[in-house]
Amino acid sequence: MPQVRQSLSLSNKDYGLVVNSFLLLYMVFYVVGGRISDWLGSRRSFILNVTTWSIASMLHAFSQGLASLCAFRAMLGAAEGGFFPTAIRAISDCFPFSHRAKAIGIMLCGMSVGSFVAPPTVAWLAVRYGWRAAFLVTGALGFLLLIPWMLLQTRTSRFAEKDEPTLAVSQAASPQSPSSSTVSILHTLKQRKYLLLLAARSITDAIWFFCLFWIPGYFQEVRGFNLSQVGHLLWIPYFCGDIGALVGTWTSSALLTRGLSLDRSRKAVLVPSALLGLCSMGTFYAHSHLVALLALSLALFGVFSWAGNIQTAITEVVPPQHVAILYGITGAVGTFTAAISQLFIGRIVDHVGYEPVFLALGIGLPFALVLAFAAGKITPWQPKTTDG
């Protein structure tokens, strides 16, 4: 950011417009991209999103001022926003219930892996070759995903077709079900179960955005970390988030294959994951910096374990042919909730400090757990049953 601002003569206000250009299109295309994915299918939508994502990233290298940078950021936000519902649609299409949570857990790892791999990589490129080269190189890497995707997606689809009958999943939940094809998106949006799970997922997004945007600053401003300490130590909590995503989703999948119901398998992991979220309060109250890092690491382990299972549950309780757009709506609402929360967080930190924020952070997942239980049983969507 400092190099880009200096090179293009951008003020803080200008930089805010650049950030908002990305977030606005990101939020919108969580929904629009989901609709496109339901229309084109996950295979072609993935190719469209990754190609656009890569081109948009590379175009940043040719920015000449505020207008062009905002345009390229908006293009990137649209492609990124459309990618996540496409990925969820692909997982829903290609993996049976017993493996779906594991696949989503691995996908979520990508977010936190980027949180500690990308900064040193981009910094190395920018220092040696300039910020424009950093955009060109990292943007071009996206094209390397396309050929493996076209090969592996076909094989995964065949695996799903072979494996699904062994899971005794109700045929009513199949995309080919005649009655499921007549269900409208609006009908699902009115369902209490979907709305409560959407609210539970939104809380997760607000927590994650705080961890992305505020945690490094908190450790520098309040706990006195320098940039070297941030680089050497703050990757640990995000790495623990990766582990949480894998452990949480693979555990619920293992429980499902051992005979537990879909509802009990997911909630058996959601409960301890939500309780681990309470550890985030220890990040503020711990006297030792290492204990604070440990508390944050446990909290992010729980957050990503929770996120993997709650996002999987959303794909399981909605009509299969609308899974991308309905998941996209939850992502858009989550992004909007997180963006609004940033306004309150900033004011609270300025006037009171971080304590109320960490208290709210700690009770966030337990409150989301209440919403998840209030939604009723997590069961495969069926067209003519009452709302669980």
Q: Is the dihedral of CA 155, 161, 162, 167 positive or negative?
A: positive
What does the block give as tokens for 109? 């790892």
318 touches 189 (CB < 8 A): no
Contact 250, 309 (CB under 8 A): no
Going from N- to C-terminal start, the domains of the chain cover: 2-163+185-374
Check residue 122 and give its pLDDT. Answer: 77
Right CATH for 2-163+185-374 from 3.40.50.12280, 3.30.1520.10, 1.10.3720.10, 1.20.1250.20: 1.20.1250.20
pTM of the model: 0.74
| Cβ pair 269, 211 in contact under 8 A | no
* Residue 68, pLDDT score: 95
* Tokens 């969507």, residue located: 381
Residue spans of the chain under pLDDT 50: 159-180, 385-388
What pLDDT score does 152 carry? 75
pLDDT at 371: 96
- Write the pLDDT tens digit of every residue in 182-205: 667 788 788 889 999 999 999 988
- Whole-number pLDDT of residue 48: 93
Q: What is the pLDDT of residues 101-155, one digit of tens each?
A: 888 888 877 776 776 677 677 778 888 888 899 899 989 988 988 888 888 766 6
pLDDT score at 315: 83
pLDDT at 11: 79
Which pLDDT score, from 0 to 100, does residue 115 have? 67
As to burial, measured by CB atoms within 10 angstroms (0-12 exposed, 13-18 middle, 19+ buried), residue 373 is middle
